[in-house]
A and B are shown apart, each in its own frame.
Chain A
Amino acid sequence: DAGVIQSPRHEVTEMGQEVTLRCKPISGHNSLFWYRQTMMRGLELLIYFNNNVPIDDSGMPEDRFSAKMPNASFSTLKIQPSEPRDSAVYFCASSFRGLGTEAFFGQGTRLTVV
């Protein structure tokens, strides 16, 4: 398995633009997580899905952030409009709850909003 695949790896955008981050979880996994990593705040959980259903989105910072999981093999995290303070590395992770709760992470998307 190729692991969790995220795209793009790097994104530079201007303030006010819409940004869409994409994630393909490991096949067979039924939980998917979006995290944001910054030096100041570390790894923050934004939202997680179980069986394609959002379970907890309390970590989503503002209404500008939204996440979807239309099927078991794809998820998006959208920021509209983007702001410079959204600059961070965004990670997607997936897990198969039946085997424990270890989460496998993608390589991340480094977002820079200028």
Chain B
Amino acid sequence: GESVGLHLPTLSVQEGDNSIINCAYSNSASDYFIWYKQESGKGPQFIIDIRSNMDKRQGQRVTVLLNKTVKHLSLQIAATQPGDSAVYFCAESTANQAGTALIFGKGTTLSVSS
């Protein structure tokens, strides 16, 4: 079946560097995408979302890029900090009348060293 997947399981960066986490999705009908951050022992926490009618959205230190042509999603974190160390998940969903359910990729571990 169709699923969301991540290219890299682990990303190691130095404090202050910019980080880029990638995600590939295969369901062309998906129209809503989210990035979540999960710290050890906690539930996933919302970072930023984007709808399929956009190709870029910016938040505080984070930017999500969506390339529908190649079904690719990325999360850019500027000036990465040790507190950004976590597992990052992308998730996709398709709107329908009854509500939507997010389908998650397997996650990328971001490790930030100072």
Contact = CB atoms under 8 A, between A and B. Distances in A.
Interface of A: 4, 30-31, 33, 35, 42-43, 45, 48, 50, 55-56, 91, 93, 95, 97, 100-108
Interface string B100-114: 111111110000000
B32 A101 contact: yes
Nearest to B94: A101
A101 B91 CA distance: 11
Contacts of B44: 43, 91, 105
Nearest to A96: B99
Given A42-B104, A48-B101, A100 B49 contact: yes
Nearest to A59: B101
A19 to B, nearest CB: 19
Nearest to B102: A103
